[in-house]
Amino acid sequence: MKRFLLVIITVLLVGFLATPILIADNLDNKIGIGLGNPYFCIKYGLSSKLSIEGRGAFGSGIFAGGARIYYNFNPEYRAVIFVGGEGDYVSFDVDDVEGIGLVGYGFVGGEYFITRRFTFNLDIGPAYIFVRENQFDFNEKGLEWVFNLGINYYFK
Amino acid sequence: MKRKKIGLLILLSIIVCLFVPSLGQPGIHFGIIKAIEKKVDKLREKTEPYSNLPDISTFKTQKSDRFIVDIADICSGFPFKGRRAKDPHQGAHVHFDNGLDHWPKGGVDKPENYPPIYALLDGVISRVDYSFHYGNNLDSYCIDLAFAKDSSGSIYILHYSIEPMIAEPSTNFYREFIFISKGQEVNKGDIIAYMYTPPSSSSASGIHIHFHIKRMNVEGFMAPALFTYAVVKQFHAKWSIFGYDDSDPIPVCMGYKLDADENPFGTGAVNLLW
C-alpha cells in the first residue's frame, strides 16, 4: 500500500510539473475556502507568491486550529508548487484523557487548478507534535510525517 | 467540459478516501488529526494504570501493615497534627539519627546501604522530584504514590518528602537514591528509594521524611491514616519528645485534631484517626 501511495504522489507531482499551462490568473488577493482530510480552511493570497490560511482540523474528540503560510513558486500556472509552514493549537478530550498541545508542521506540496475556481491540493512534511494531558501532567512529543489532501474553491 | 473536470475531482477524492485507512501506519499519517491521535494514544497508555486504583473508602478498614520505613531505623517522629491542634503540622514525620555513622552500612557508600523507603500500598508513582530546593540552602527529593481514587475521579496520593537537611552534595546526587520512575506501578513493600543520611548527622540535624495524603491537583493535605493499629502503635512508641502537641501528649494515631477536610475518609472532623 505504501508503494501505491508513492505511485499516486509521483503521478500527481509529475502531472503538476508537466502541465505548465498559463491560466491568466494568479493567487494575489484571491480568497478561497477548502475542505480536506478532515479540515476546513479559509485561504487568502497576500501576493502572487505568498498566501496565508486559517484552518481547523477535527477528529473524534480532537481539535487542531491554527494558521498556515505558503510560498508559491509558480503562482500563474495551473499546477502551483509550494512550500510552507503551519502552527496549530490542539485540544483533546478522548475517553478519559483530556489536554492540550501544539503542532509545528513544515510541508511541500502542490495545488492543481482544475478550473479557475476549483483546485485540488496535496502536501506532505514532518510535524512536531507536543501534547500534554491535564490530570497527571504526562506529555508526549515527537516528529510524525503527515500527508494532506483537499479541495479548494476560490471566490474570484 | 467544466462538469467533466469536477467529476474527475470527485472521483479522485473518492479514490483517496478509499485508501485513507492504509495511511495510518507508523511514520506517515493521513492528516494532522491521525498524527495527534497517535500521541494521545500514548498518553492514554500512561494514564491507564490510574483507572484501576481502589476507592479511598477501602482504606478506612483495610489498612497496611507496611510502614513507610523500617520502624527500627527511626529515632523519633510524630503524626499529622491538624488545624485544631495547638501546634499544627500538616504532615507526619519520621526522623533519623546518623550521629554515630550507622549508615551507610558496612561503611560502603552506596544507596542500598542507607535506610530503605517503601511503597506502603499498591499504586502508581505519579511524580518524582529528583531535587527540590527549599529553605535556607536545603534540598530534598520527593515521591508521590497514587493509591486510590474517589467517586468524583479524584486521585489520592501519598506524598513522601525526603529531607536530608543539607544542600544536595553534588548535581544528581539524590537521583541515585530513587529506584522508581514516574508512571511505574509498584506493589506494597517495594523499595522505592533510600534515605540519604549525611555522615555524623545527629537527631538534632533534623533528617526526616515528611508524609501526607493529598488529592492530585487539589489544594490541601490530609492525615496518612493508612496503617494497621499495630503499626501505628509501634510508630507511637518511637515518637519520644515529638509526641506532644505543645505540652499535651498525643495518643496513638496518624491524624490528631483534624478538620473535616484533613480526614481522607470524609467522616468529618475528628480528634484521633488511625
The amino acid at A146:
V
Pairwise CA distance, residues B15 & B199, whole Å? 73
Would an 8 Å CB–CB cutoff place B31 in contact with chain A? yes
Q: Do the chains contact at A1 and B12, CB–CB below 8 Å?
A: no
Do residues B21 and B123 both lie within one domain?
A: no
Query: With 70 as the cut, is the pLDDT of residue B243 above it?
Result: yes
Is ipTM beyond 0.90?
no
Do residues B236 and B142 both lie within one domain?
A: yes
Q: Which three cell numbers stand for residue A133?
A: 494531558
Put simply, whether the predicted model's pTM sits higher than 0.95 gets the answer no
- Cβ(B225)–Cβ(B117) under 8 Å? no
Query: With 70 as the cut, is the pLDDT of residue B42 above it?
Result: yes
Pairwise CA distance, residues B130 & B39, whole Å? 26
Strands B208-215 and B191-194: unpaired
**Mean pLDDT for chain A overall:** 88
The percent of residues in chain B predicted with pLDDT above 90, rounded, is: 78
Do residues B43 and B96 both lie within one domain?
A: no
The shortest CB-CB distance from B13 to any of A101, A103, A151 is to A151
Instruction: Give the mutation candidate from B5, B8, B12, B33 for the A interface (greatest A CB count, under 10 A).
Output: B33
**Mean pLDDT for chain B overall:** 90
A27 vs B126 pLDDT, higher one: B126
Rounded to 5 degrees, φ, ψ at B133 are -85, 135
Nearest CA in chain B to A36: B31
Query: With 50 as the cut, is the pLDDT of residue B7 above it?
Result: no
Q: Do the chains contact at A97 and B36, CB–CB below 8 Å?
A: no
The backbone region for A112, taken as left when phi is positive above 0, alpha when psi lies in -120 to 50, beta otherwise, is beta
Q: Do the chains contact at B16 and A97, CB–CB below 8 Å?
A: no
Domain boundaries, chain A: 2-154
Number of domain units in chain B: 2
Query: With 50 as the cut, is the pLDDT of residue B24 above it?
Result: no
Here the CATH number for the domain that contains residue B180 is 2.70.70.10
Q: Each residue of A58-84: pLDDT tens digit?
A: 998 999 999 999 999 998 888 999 999
Q: Which residue has the cell 498566501?
A: A51
Write down the pLDDT at residue B208: 97
Would an 8 Å CB–CB cutoff place B218 in contact with chain A? no
Pairwise CA distance, residues A76 & A70, whole Å? 15
Do residues B89 and B215 both lie within one domain?
A: yes
Of A125, A19, A30, nearest to A74 by C-alpha is: A19
Do residues B40 and B147 both lie within one domain?
A: no
Q: Do the chains contact at A140 and B39, CB–CB below 8 Å?
A: yes
Do residues B75 and B123 both lie within one domain?
A: yes
Q: Each residue of B120-175: pLDDT tens digit?
A: 999 999 999 999 998 888 999 999 999 999 988 789 999 999 999 999 999 999 99
Of A56, A61, A54, nearest to A31 by C-alpha is: A54
Q: Which residues of B touch A120 (CB under 8 A)?
A: 9, 12-13
Of A68, A127, A137, A67, nearest to A100 by C-alpha is: A137
Write down the pLDDT at residue B154: 87
The amino acid at B61:
T
Write down the pLDDT at residue B1: 47
The shortest CB-CB distance from B32 to any of A8, A64, A120 is to A64
**Residues of the domain holding B72:** 58-273
Instruction: Give the mutation candidate from A2, A105, A138 for the B interface (greatest B CB count, under 10 A).
Output: A138
CATH hierarchy code of domain A2-154: 2.40.160.20
Query: With 70 as the cut, is the pLDDT of residue A39 above it?
Result: yes
The percent of residues in chain B predicted with pLDDT above 70, rounded, is: 91
Query: With 80 as the cut, is the pLDDT of residue A134 above it?
Result: yes
